[in-house]
């Protein structure tokens, strides 16, 4: 089954100051996001860069205020009636996926908090470095079954040295694994395949992770527009490596940072890539910056 995620633009700067605290040593996410830039993307599309959509809101976001300060990252999802949502559908083995990344596309994390009976999600949290971070929540409310991605930003105190986007590459090394990418992202839709080896030997026994042999996160470098792509095929029917294939369609040309999560040897590993996305005309006509970004299915 294929999921689809539509994109909108995020108007204004990613660096936002915050003024409300929740609990000791916690800093709340920005109280109001800048309005979408409708000139860049049509109204109604979704990049995951808004805190509210379809009546649902990412609320009461709180996290430690300084690097290396132990604490919790907390938030709630408020429903159309303003009350915390407490019923979510399981998607890819979890009720909610939390993706956190710094504004320069570094410090990427994909984790899974737990929810209490009152609808507050939380997870133990420590920031390694200062900066402005975007916190994405990817979930399906049980009430209507529509998948949503909501996000807000958190500023962590300290002097920030933004990292430049690494140059485009087709090979990444992580934890002793070598991952090679073929294909690419395009605005017309395209195939992406990753081949995983270790010490020159193909990895053919990838372990299921969140219901798949790998997951692909993609962020548009200029604004962190979000995409979570799932591979083609199914666990148990598709070979468990060394190749994992995806199909995706980028909403616009530009640079993207890709994060491939896979599990092997009892641990999850993340290989990172930078890719340039050209504008390509599809069979139905030229793509636009507001087009849908398709997520591979099978789950």
Q: 58-68 burial, b for 16+ CB within 10 Å, e for fewer?
A: bbbbbbbbeee
Q: What is the DSSP string of 260-286?
A: EEEEETTEEEEEEEEEEE----BTTB-
Q: CA-CA distance, 228 to 84, in Å (whole number)? A: 25
Q: CA-CA distance, 252 to 255, in Å (whole number)? A: 9
Q: What is the DSSP string of the chain?
A: --EEEE-----S-S--------STTEEEPPSSPPPP-TTTS-TT---S--SEETTEEEEEEEEESSBT--EEEEEEEE-TTSSBP--B--BTTBSEEEEEEETTS-S-EEE--EE-TTSEEEEEE-BSS-EEEEEEEEE-BTTT---EEEEEEEEE-S---PPPPPPP-SEEEETTEEEEEEE---TT-EEEEEEEEETTEE---PBPBTTBS-EEEEEETTT--EEEE--SS-BTTB--SSEEEEEE--SSSEEEEEEEEEEETTEEEEEEEEEEE----BTTB---TT-EEEE----
Q: CA-CA distance, 156 to 246, in Å (whole number)? A: 34
Q: CA-CA distance, 282 to 203, in Å (whole number)? A: 34
Q: pLDDT tens across 218-240, in order?
A: 999 999 999 878 899 899 999 99
| Token representation of residue 32 | 């109001």
CATH number of 171-295: 2.60.40.1940
Give ranges for CATH 2.60.40.10 in the chain.
3-156
Q: Bridge partners of 131?
A: 156
Q: pLDDT tens across 111-159, in order?
A: 999 999 999 999 999 999 999 999 999 999 999 899 999 999 999 999 9
Cut 0.85: pTM above it: no
Query: CATH class for domain 3-156?
Result: mainly beta
Supply the pLDDT for residue 25: 34
What are the distances in angstroms from CA 84 to CA 58, 75, 81, 251, 264?
10, 10, 9, 32, 37
Tally Cβ neighbours within 10 Å of residue 267: 9
Give ranges for CATH 2.60.40.1940 in the chain.
171-295
Selection from 216, 218, 225 nearest residue 289 by Cα: 225
User: Residues of the chain whose pLDDT is less than 70?
Assistant: 1-46, 280-299
Supply the pLDDT for residue 281: 60
Supply the pLDDT for residue 19: 31
Decide the pairing of beta strands 56-64 and 52-53. antiparallel
Q: How many CA atoms lie within 13 A of 227 on its CB side?
A: 35
């Amino acid at each position: 089954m294929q999921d689809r995620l539509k994109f909108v633009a995020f108007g204004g700067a990613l660096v936002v100051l915050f003024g409300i605290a929740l609990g000791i040593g916690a800093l709340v996410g920005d109280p109001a996001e800048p309005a979408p830039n409708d000139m860049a993307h049509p109204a109604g599309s979704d990049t995951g860069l808004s805190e509210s959509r379809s009546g649902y809101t990412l609320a009461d976001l709180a996290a430690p205020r300084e690097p290396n300060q132990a604490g919790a990252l907390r938030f709630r999802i408020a429903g159309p009636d303003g009350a915390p949502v407490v019923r979510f559908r399981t998607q890819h083995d979890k009720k909610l996926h939390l993706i956190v990344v710094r504004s320069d596309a570094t410090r990427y994390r994909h984790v899974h908090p737990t929810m209490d009976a009152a609808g507050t999600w939380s997870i133990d949290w420590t920031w390694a470095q200062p900066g402005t971070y975007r916190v994405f929540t990817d979930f399906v409310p049980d009430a209507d079954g529509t998948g949503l991605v909501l996000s807000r930003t958190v500023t962590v105190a300290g002097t920030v040295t933004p990292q430049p986007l690494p140059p485009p590459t087709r090979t990444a090394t992580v934890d002793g694994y070598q991952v090679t990418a073929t294909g690419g992202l395009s605005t017309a839709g395209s195939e992406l395949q990753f081949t995983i080896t270790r010490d020159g030997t193909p990895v053919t026994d990838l372990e299921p992770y969140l219901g798949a042999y790998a997951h692909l996160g993609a962020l548009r470098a200029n604004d962190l527009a979000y995409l979570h792509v799932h591979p083609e095929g199914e666990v148990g029917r598709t070979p468990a490596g060394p190749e994992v294939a995806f199909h995706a369609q980028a909403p616009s040309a530009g640079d993207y940072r890709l994060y491939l999560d896979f599990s092997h040897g009892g641990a999850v590993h993340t290989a990172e890539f930078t890719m340039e996305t050209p504008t390509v005309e599809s069979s139905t006509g030229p793509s636009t910056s507001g087009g849908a970004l398709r997520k591979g299915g099978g789950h």
